[in-house]
Amino acid sequence: MRFALRAESALKSVRLATLGLWGVSGLLVVALGAHGLWLAKENRGAAAEVSRLEAEMQAAEATLQEASLVEVPENLRGLAAVSAFQRELETLCKASGAQLTEFSSGSELLPFVTRFALGAQQSDWSETEVSFTARGNEQQVVNVLLNLSNQPVPVEMTSLDMERIATDRLGSATVEARGRVRVLSKSG
């Protein structure tokens, strides 16, 4: 009888161990499945990000292709573009009632390299850094800045700083806007 009780007890222990192993195996399968779902979700997110970046790159390349087809008048080619920009800026200041108090530029053209390209690409566009200061009341100076995008010389704003430099007895402020732009020109 003792032997039968021991065998029965051992059988119960084996059954309990088997059930325990099945439980642990089930938990492991659930954990692996959850991890697999998480990895699949991460891969979908990464694939969406890659697709978005590829679309942005294609759009940038299309813009560059479009830019290579732009016909630029002779007076906006090379360093003549800087002189044309200065004339346009003087005209904008005069029309707004502001003053152009400073204008300086680089003396040479550098190759224009877009930040969107994966590597340096040959381009027939070049650039020169230009600094300027416009002075007047707030409205006059802001009008000059707003109209920069309407003038014919292609420019890209690099930095802009505006500060009040004086106030008259009536409280009207005189402001200065110091800007840096890249004047773009097409060669050839």
CATH of 74-186, one of 3.30.70.60, 3.40.50.150, 3.40.50.2300, 3.20.20.60: 3.30.70.60
53, HSE (Cβ side, Cα atoms, 13 Å): 9
113-162 pLDDT per residue, tens: 766 556 656 677 888 999 999 999 999 999 999 999 899 998 988 899 99
Q: Count of residues for the chain? A: 188
C-alpha closest to that of 105 among 163, 177, 184, 186: 184
The predicted model scores a pTM of 0.61
State residue 4's pLDDT score: 55
Residue 32's pLDDT band (cuts 50, 70, 90)? confident
State residue 42's pLDDT score: 75
C-alpha closest to that of 81 among 60, 110, 102: 110
Every domain of the chain and the residues it spans: 1-69, 74-186
State residue 11's pLDDT score: 66
State residue 67's pLDDT score: 64
State residue 6's pLDDT score: 64
Higher-scoring residue by pLDDT: 177, 8: 177
Q: What angle do CA 82, 86, 92 make, to 5 degrees?
A: 140
